[in-house]
Chain A
Amino acid sequence: VDCSLYSPGQLNTFFSKKTFVRCVMVSTYTSLVLFFIPWAAMQDSVRGDGKDVADYQSFALSTQTSLMIVVSAQMFLDTFYWTAINQFFLWGSIAAYLAITFTFFSNGLFFVFTSSFPFIGTARNSLKQPNVWLTMFLTCLLCVLPTVAFRFLHINFLEKIRKFTRFQKYKAREEGQPAPAPYRPPPRRVSTRRSSYAFSHSQGYGDLVTSRKFLRLKRRPSLFGRNQSPLVENQPQHYRTITEEAEESQT
């Protein structure tokens, strides 16, 4: 039974007020960084050969490119399973952005549709400057690092800290009652060929159910331990392989 679809709803992870406030805070911070870092870096700056780089078109281009990279980085962080399709689309969108930018800023389109493509030459002139690249790199890093740090803390430590403090309190209070099950660290990812890009993650248990295994009285390891219910942990699926003695005919 595959339950990871139900947990966002049950834990109300996507549409709560807390999530909204967090989203607004992150967006405000990102917007401020995306504008003010290029602004401060462009104040009175010029190119390596003395010519202009603080013009409206170059400023727009550097802000726009930083934004694209930040958004792509967020998507990279949010993608759980990197299949070939994901790789193609995620890297492809950055490549498409660069291709489209250089096309829009090229000589050819300027000659055909002159007033619609006035940004001619801007990409060639400003993206050659190390100044501009350094500014974009700084902007993207400033936007992405807080998210990474927060997520790292959340995934690895908040659960542990909460459980540990809860356990300490429990232990201090009750001596005789049985202790709760110990916390086991999340199991190392098993290299799995299951990816989660659709609702049904696994083959299902139809084969298992229709085989005659249930008639035999063997004890089987439980599929889900108490602390490993995906309902509680809301983690990507980890599967333990179920050994089968004889291969049924594959359908």
Chain B
Amino acid sequence: MMASSYKDEDGHITVSGSGAAAGAGGGSLRSKKPENTAFKQQRLPAWQPILTAGTVLPAFFIIGLMFIPIGIGLYVTSNNIKEFEVDYTGVEMSSPCFTCSQNFSWNSTKPCTCSVPFHLDQPYESNVFMYYGLSNFYQNHRRYVKSRDDSQLNGNEESLRKPSKECEPYAKHNNKPIAPCGAIANSMFNDSLELIYIDPNGTKVQIPLTATGIAWWTDKHVKFRNPGAENTNLTVVFQGTTRPVNWRRPVFQLDSDPDNNGFINEDFIVWMRTAALPTFRKLYRIIQRRSNVHPTLPRGNYSLEVVYNYPVRSFEGRKRMILSTISWMGGKNPFLGIAYVSVGSVCFLLGVLLLIIHHKYGNRNNAAEISH
């Protein structure tokens, strides 16, 4: 007979008289024992991944081989996108907009206009998108980003009369609440850009620009709503409020189209979606395609007519106009294509290297064994 004492799983020490008796231990002791389920006895089926050569090496090769064609496809797509940029800040003396940029004043009643000629080497087919780009403009500054009142922009009447504290100091002006309040709305981009095509005879043709369909659907229909009921006169609804300090016109006169007036004006919505980086571009207008036969923008001379309202010289910013075609992956950005190709090649080379190491050192087991 053997006496043994052992610690039970729940720490209860039992002393048993014999092996046979241990199994038939008293009823009171048995009740403290955990149930004999897989979960409580820690016998759950488990799967264990192991990084063997058979899994890792093929994975590296497959990733390498997958990425390279994707990268090439992305790069080719990006290369096929046509883009043209015109900087019209007017920094140099020779630039057409130099006088406008120098003579800027907030109180001028007569807007300054300038005209920048440029030449397109290739025709642009399908829809052409016109963007305005700003440089050195930090729309991602934290205090700036918070300086808005989303309730007011959603059409809340209470917030219209009492803008939130976040909008300070652009919340009230002359004791009237500002609609829309905040620094983001106050600094809205207000240059007007027009495109003129100069055909070979010399006649100037104005290119039609579409101003709607440039903002996100959720922004235009959910996030931004005009206060008051539908189809009410906006002048009446916004009575008692005043325009932002830097604006020339109040918010209910942004556009004659009632579907694009007030807070739901698409230029305003596009501006209020703050950009992530200090050099950014925002959609300004869309040039719809005319027909399958004629290119939207034929090759030739063009002129950009600017109504220069937006001062950027004070913070050394730059303004530009960008014309671009679009593909399924967006605008012209070769980075993703190049990144995919390089990562794919590095992966493939790494796989080859690991294969060499595995071949060289993996088979030495047999040489290392020595019989006793």
Chain A residues with a Cβ under 8 A of chain B? 37, 39-60, 80-85, 107, 110-111, 114-115, 118, 120-121, 124-125, 129-131, 134-135, 138, 141-142, 145, 148-149, 151-153, 155-157, 160-161, 163-164, 167, 179, 182-185, 189, 192-195, 197-198, 200-201, 203-204, 206, 209-212, 236, 248-251
Contacts and interface: CB of A to CB of B under 8 A. Distances in A.
Given A83-B44, A210-B19, A130 B140 contact: no
Given A189-B50, A197-B42, A209-B4, A41 B222 contact: no
B303 interface: no
A207 B331 CA distance: 71
CB-based closest 5 A-B pairs: A121-B218, A195-B46, A59-B276, A182-B369, A81-B46
B216 interface: yes
B270 A52 contact: yes
Given A41-B333, A50-B283, A149 B44 contact: no
Q: Dominant SS at the B interface?
A: mixed
Nearest to B20: A249
Given A48-B327, A107-B218, 11 more contacts: A44-B279, A46-B283, A51-B215, A110-B154, A134-B74, A138-B339, A148-B51, A194-B46, A195-B43, A210-B4, A210-B19
B364 to A, nearest CB: 5
B361 A212 contact: no
B156 interface: yes
Contacts of A142: 343
Nearest to B52: A156
A120 B330 contact: no
B120 interface: no
A105 to B, nearest CB: 9
Given A152-B56, A194-B42, A212-B19, A49 B326 contact: yes
Contacts of B145: 56
B332 to A, nearest CB: 8
Interface in B314-359: 324, 326-333, 335-336, 339-340, 343, 347, 350, 354, 357-358
Contact of B275 (A54, A118, A167): A54
Interface string B1-33: 010101001000000100110111100000001
Nearest to A52: B273
Given A56-B276, A130-B328, A149-B354, A44 B333 contact: yes
Interface residues of B, number: 92
Given A54-B275, A83-B45, A152-B56, A125 B327 contact: no
B361 A161 contact: yes
Contacts of B335: 40-41, 43
A50 to B, nearest CB: 4
A46 B214 contact: no
B223 interface: yes
Nearest to A84: B44
12 contacts: A44-B332, A48-B330, A54-B276, A82-B47, A83-B44, A84-B44, A85-B44, A115-B166, A131-B330, A152-B53, A193-B38, A236-B48
Contact of A249 (B23, B222, B280): B23
A118 B25 CA distance: 65
Contacts of A48: 326-330
B296 interface: no
B76 interface: no
Contacts of A250: 23
A32 to B, nearest CB: 14
Contacts of A130: 328-329
B150 interface: yes
A138 B133 CA distance: 28
Contact of A193 (B16, B46, B216, B282): B46
B368 A182 contact: yes
Nearest to A151: B51
A45 B343 CA distance: 21
Given A82-B48, A189-B50, A210-B4, A114 B156 contact: yes
A193 B43 CA distance: 5
B164 A115 contact: yes
Given A43-B333, A156-B362, A198 B42 contact: yes
Contacts of B218: 107, 120-121, 124-125
A248 B19 contact: yes
A83 B280 CA distance: 48
Contacts of A47: 330
Interface string B195-222: 0000000000000000000111111001
Contacts of A83: 44-46
Contacts of B59: 148
A51 B369 CA distance: 67
B112 interface: no
